[in-house]
Structure 1
Amino acid sequence: MTTETTTDPKTEKPPVSVAIIVDQGKVLMARRRAAEGEISWVFPGGAIEAGEGPQEAAVREVAEETGLKVEAVKVLGDRVHPKSKVPMHYVAVRLVGGEATVADDEELDAVAWITHAEIADHVPYGLFEPVQKYLDGVLPH
């Protein structure tokens, strides 16, 4: 007897790409207008659209949400987020220009450049290990 599992397309969450933006010894985080459980502060990002890869989606989402112009550097890793169950891609990006603001006030209510020491205050459940290792290497602490 074989058992097939199928995924209900109505409940499957679309993959998301987020940008890890480091500038002047801090990383940019955004506060969601509506928290999803414990998740309030996040890296800027959003759903990957048809025809986009994770790097292109991260760059586009940063512009839409924060008004910043960035360039993708590398994908740090991917996983299904343990709390939201959303497939996630984490992309390191380089700041090219602009000033971080809340450009999408339907999704976000604040943006903040935070230090290495402040990460635990914003993300008390911890970061994805490859992202934490990357930030450990590029942020002063």
Structure 2
Amino acid sequence: MGKELKELRELRVAAYAVCVRGDEVLLARWVSRDGTRRWTLPGGGMDHGEDPYDTVIREVEEETGHTVEPVRLLGLDSMLRSSREGGRTVDFHGVRVVYEGRITGGTLRPEADGSTDLAAWHRLDAVPGLDRVELVDVGLDLWRRRPADGRAERPPATS
């Protein structure tokens, strides 16, 4: 057999919504493979052939029970991460399309059998105290700044 593959490259494109209503933002609680739970923006991976606009509508409904209207493209976030799995390096590249979303209907509920286990509205001023993924800060920054080039600014790494 040929040379064993030592590095795996993975690209994931996903779409997320920043849904702010008054002084609250809608978040979903993501459950990692190891069981860690952290708040994130509602959204997720695109299916092959799916438009990101349609992805965010589908994902917000799946994860929160709400129907959403994407009203504005806020920007894109590109992140790189490397990890070790099964004796090889996984070089992960995530491209995240972030929309401003307006809730138009539905009833708040948790996702059934998915990657999230809870959905809730949180006060914007309480977000810094939440156990959350970096995407929440990236999305809220895009929502506040509305950069003309749509480029997200990565928050500084914390230790």
User: Taking structure 1 as reference, are residues 94 and 86 closer, same or farther at Cα in structure 2, changes over 3 Å only?
Assistant: same
User: Taking structure 1 as reference, are residues 87 and 124 closer, same or farther at Cα in structure 2, changes over 3 Å only?
Assistant: closer
- Matched residue, 2:94: 86
Q: Determine the C-alpha separation between the residues in 1 that align with 2:43 and 2:17.
A: 6
- Matched residue, 2:111: 103
TM superposition shift of 1:100: 1.6
Higher alpha-carbon Rg: 2
Partner-residue secondary structure (3-state), 2:10: coil
Checking the alignment, whether the CA contact within 8 Å between 2:38 and 2:133 is kept in structure 1 is: no
- Matched residue, 2:88: none
Identical residues among aligned pairs (%): 26
Structure having the larger proportion of residues in strand: 2
- Matched residue, 1:127: 137
Checking the alignment, whether the CA contact within 8 Å between 1:66 and 1:104 is kept in structure 2 is: no
TM superposition shift of 1:136: 7.4
| Number of aligned residues | 128
For structure 2, the residue ranges without an aligned partner over 5 or more in a row are 1-6, 82-91, 147-159
Question: 1:91 is aligned with what amino acid?
Answer: Y
User: Taking structure 1 as reference, are residues 112 and 71 closer, same or farther at Cα in structure 2, changes over 3 Å only?
Assistant: same
Q: Determine the C-alpha separation between the residues in 2 that align with 1:124 and 1:57.
A: 20
For structure 1, the residue ranges without an aligned partner over 5 or more in a row are 1-7
RMSD: 2.9
- Matched residue, 1:4: none
Deviation string, structure 1 residues 78-135 (Cα, Å, up to 9, x no partner): 121356742111111111001221123431122221112112122475712x632524
User: Taking structure 1 as reference, are residues 105 and 135 closer, same or farther at Cα in structure 2, changes over 3 Å only?
Assistant: farther
Checking the alignment, whether the CA contact within 8 Å between 1:55 and 1:74 is kept in structure 2 is: no
User: Taking structure 1 as reference, are residues 131 and 39 closer, same or farther at Cα in structure 2, changes over 3 Å only?
Assistant: farther
- Matched residue, 2:122: 114
Question: 1:93 is aligned with what amino acid?
Answer: G
Structure 1-normalised TM-score? 0.74
The 5 Å alignment of 1:1-141 reads 11-34=9-32, 40-81=38-79, 85-122=93-130, 123=132, 127-128=137-138, 131-135=140-144
